[in-house]
Amino acid sequence: MSDTQVKAVLFDLDGTLLDTVKDIGTGANLALCRRGCPEYPLEDYRGFVGHGIKNLFRKIVPASAGEEVYQKALDFYLSYYPDHCMDHTELFPGIRELLHKLQAAGYQLGVITNKTQETAQKIMDHYFPEVDFAFVWGRSGDRPLKPDPAAGTLACVELGVKPEEVLFFGDGDTDMEFAVNSGFWPVACSWGYRSRAELTAAGAHQIVDTTAELEQILHL
C-alpha cells in the first residue's frame, strides 16, 4: 500500500496512545483480592490486555473459583476502574506531538478500542482535549470487538474513505488482525504490550520503535 493513499489514521488506545496497564492491573488485583483470588504482578497484565475486559477476567480468575466469583470480580472492576482509570496512566513519548502533526496535515483521526465506550471517551477527553478525533469507539454493545472488522466497515462509512485509505496503528495482535480483516494498512508500535514476533504473526506490515518513524512513513 502506498502511503500517499492514506486519508485517515485510526488508533488503538491501551498500549498505543497511553500506558494504562498500571491502572488496569491495580483495579483487577483489587477485584481479585476482594474475592479471595491470587493477585498478579502489574507487569503480567501487559499480556492479559487487548481482548476486552471480560476476556481478561477469564484469564485471571481461577476457573475453580466458579462463575459467581468471576462475575462479582468483574462487576467490582467495572464499577471501580472508571473512577481510577487515570491514577497512573501516562502518555507514551511523542504521542501528543504525533497527533498534532497528523491533525495539522489534514488526516482524519479516530480511536477504536475494546475499552468500554464511556471510559474510553473519558480518558481521551482528559488526555487529548485539543485533538479533533472524528470518533472514539469503545465497547458499547453496538459493534463487535476487535478483531471483528465490523467497526472497520462502519469507520469507513463514517469517514467517507475506502479501506485502503486507512492506516490502523496499534500495539496488539488483536489490532493487527483487525486491520488486516478490515483491509487497512496494519502498522504496529513496539512500545506496547506485545512482542515484535506476535505483531508480525498477526499481520503487521511495519513495526515502528518511535513516533518519529510513523511520521516518516506518512511524510509529516
pLDDT digits (tens, 9 = 90+) for 90-143: 999 999 999 999 999 999 999 999 999 999 999 999 999 999 999 999 998 888
**Can you read off the three cell numbers belonging to residue 180?**
488486516
pLDDT of residue 4: 58
pLDDT of 138-165, one tens digit each? Answer: 998 888 989 999 999 999 999 999 999 9
In whole angstroms, give the CA distance from residue 78 to residue 91. Answer: 23
Residue 2 has pLDDT above 70, yes or no: no
Q: How many residues does the chain have?
A: 220
User: How confident is residue 6, by pLDDT bands cut at 50, 70 and 90?
Assistant: very high
* Amino acid, single-letter form, for residue 1: M
pLDDT at 52: 85
Average pLDDT, the chain: 95
d(CA 178, CA 186): 8
Provide the percentage of residues in the chain whose pLDDT is more than 90: 93
* Average pLDDT rounded to a whole number, residues 17-36: 97
More confident residue, 2 or 210: 210
Q: What is the mean pLDDT of residues 14-21?
A: 97
Q: Which residues have CB under 8 Å from 138's CB, separation 6+?
A: 113, 114, 115, 116, 117, 118, 119, 120, 121
Q: Are 45 and 81 in contact (CB under 8 A)?
A: no
**Burial level of 194, CB count in 10 A (0-12/13-18/19+)?**
buried
Residue 3 pLDDT exceeds 60: no
Check residue 1 and give its pLDDT: 56
* CB environment 206-217: b (16+ within 10 A), e (fewer): ebbeebeebbeb
Range with the lowest mean pLDDT among 3-12, 118-127, 129-138, 207-216?
3-12
